[in-house]
A and B are shown apart, each in its own frame.
Chain A
Amino acid sequence: MALRDLADGLHDVASIGLVLGKQMVADSLADVRDVEPGLPDELVERLHPRRVPGRVAEIIEETASTRTLRLVPVGEPFPPFRAGQFFALLCEVGGVRTSRAYSVSSPPTRSYLDITVRKMPSGFVSVYLCEEAAVGDVFELSGPGGSFYHEPMTDSRELVFLAGGSGVTPFMSMVRSFADLDAGPRVHLVYGSRTLDDVIFEDELAAMARTHESFRLDLVISEPPDEFSGCRGFLDAPMLSSLLDGAEGKTFFICGPHAMYGLCTGALEGLGVSPASVKKEASGPPPDITLVEGWPKKIKPSKKATVRIEGTRSSFEALCGEPLLNSLERNGVAVENLCRSGECGVCRSQLVSGEVFMPASVVLRKADVAFGYIHPCMSYPLGDITIRL
Chain B
Amino acid sequence: MKDKRAIVVGAGLGGLSAAAYLARAGLEVDVFERNSYPGGYACSFVRGPYEFEASLHELSGIGPPGNRGSCYRVLEGCDVARRVEFLPIDDFYTSIFPDFTVRVPHGWEAAEEAYCDQFPRERKGISRVMQAMRRINDASAEASKITKASDALTLPFKAGDLVRSMGITVAQALDREMKDPGLKALFTNIWGYYGLPPSRLSWLLFAVANASYIEHGPYHVKGTTQALSNAFVESIEDNGGRVHLRDGVVSIEVADGRATGVVTGQGGRHKADFVVCSANPITTCFSLIGPDKVPADYLKALAGRHIAVSTFNVYMGLDHPAADLGLDGHEFFINEGYDYDDQYLRMFTTDRPSYWAVTNYNHADPEFSPPGTSVVVLTALVDYTPWAHLPADRYRETKDRIAREMIEATDRRFPGLKDHLAVVEVSTPITNMRYSGNPGGSILGFDYDLAGSPPFRLSNRGPLERLFFANAWVRMGGGMETCITSGLFAYGEVMKDLRGTRGLAKLLPATG
Contact = CB atoms under 8 A, between A and B. Distances in A.
Given A10-B140, A366-B227, A25 B450 contact: yes
B121 interface: no
Contacts of B140: 1, 5-6, 9-10
Nearest to B383: A33
A4 B504 contact: yes
Contact of A8 (B144, B304, B424): B144
Interface in A28-53: 28-29, 31-33, 35-41, 43-44, 46-48
Interface string B330-366: 0000000000000001001000000000000000000
B303 A35 contact: yes
Contacts of B440: 36, 40
A40 B403 contact: no
Contact of B424 (A32, A82, A153, A389): A153
B36 A347 contact: yes
A4 B488 contact: yes
Given A1-B140, A6-B143, A154 B169 contact: no
Given A12-B149, A147-B47, A370-B227, A6 B396 contact: no
Contacts, number: 257
Contacts of A44: 430, 433-434
Find the residue from B140, B319, B488 having the highest chain A CB count within 10 A: B140
Interface string A350-380: 0000000000000111111011010000000
A37 B302 CA distance: 9
A155 to B, nearest CB: 10
B476 A3 contact: yes
Interface in B206-249: 208-209, 211-212, 215, 223-224, 226-227, 229-231, 233-234, 242, 245-246
A348 interface: yes
Given A9-B145, A10-B140, A345-B37, A17 B211 contact: no
Contacts of A348: 36-37, 245
A32 B345 CA distance: 9
B36 A154 contact: no
Contacts of A8: 144, 489, 492, 503-505
A12 to B, nearest CB: 5
B209 A3 contact: yes
Contacts of A366: 44, 51, 223-224, 226-227
Contacts of B58: none
B455 A6 contact: yes
A121 to B, nearest CB: 32
Given A33-B348, A33-B383, A40-B439, A6 B306 contact: no
A298 interface: no
A317 to B, nearest CB: 24
Interface in B467-494: 475-476, 481-482, 485, 488-489, 492
Contact of B400 (A3, A12, A14, A153): A153
B212 to A, nearest CB: 7
Given A6-B208, A336-B36, A1 B138 contact: yes
B70 interface: yes
A29 B229 CA distance: 35
A94 interface: no
Interface in B53-71: 61, 69-71
A21 interface: yes
Interface string A334-352: 0110000000011111000
A291 interface: no
A13 B155 contact: yes
A6 B433 CA distance: 29
A47 B503 CA distance: 46
Contacts of B450: 21, 24-25, 28
Given A47-B395, A348-B37, A9 B149 contact: no
Interface string B89-122: 0000000000000000000000000000000000
A43 B425 CA distance: 20
Nearest to A274: B319
A301 B348 CA distance: 58
Please tell me the size bucket of the interface on A.
35 or more
Nearest to A334: B266
Contacts of A335: 246
Interface SS of chain B? helix
B87 interface: no
B501 interface: no
A259 interface: no
B46 interface: yes
A375 B305 CA distance: 41
Contacts of B319: 274, 276
Contact of B306 (A35, A151, A345, A370): A35
Interface stretch (B8-16, B182-190, B281-289, B374-382): B281-289
A28 B422 CA distance: 44
Interface in B428-479: 430, 433-434, 437-441, 449-451, 454-457, 459, 475-476
Contacts of B482: 3
A147 B52 CA distance: 15
A358 to B, nearest CB: 14
Top-4 shortest CB links A-B: A5-B144, A17-B166, A2-B70, A21-B167
Given A8-B492, A80-B395, A153-B404, 8 more contacts: A2-B70, A9-B146, A14-B166, A16-B155, A21-B167, A80-B393, A368-B37, A373-B230
28 contacts: A1-B138, A2-B70, A3-B70, A3-B476, A3-B482, A4-B485, A5-B143, A6-B143, A7-B454, A7-B485, A9-B140, A10-B143, A24-B169, A25-B451, A28-B449, A32-B348, A35-B303, A36-B388, A36-B440, A37-B307, A40-B437, A41-B283, A43-B384, A44-B433, A47-B392, A311-B242, A335-B246, A345-B37
Interface of B: 36-37, 44-48, 51, 61, 69-71, 73-74, 137-138, 140-146, 149, 152, 155-156, 163-164, 166-169, 200, 208-209, 211-212, 215, 223-224, 226-227, 229-231, 233-234, 242, 245-246, 282-283, 286-287, 302-307, 319, 345, 348, 383-385, 387-388, 392-393, 395-396, 400, 403-404, 407, 421-425, 430, 433-434, 437-441, 449-451, 454-457, 459, 475-476, 481-482, 485, 488-489, 492, 503-505
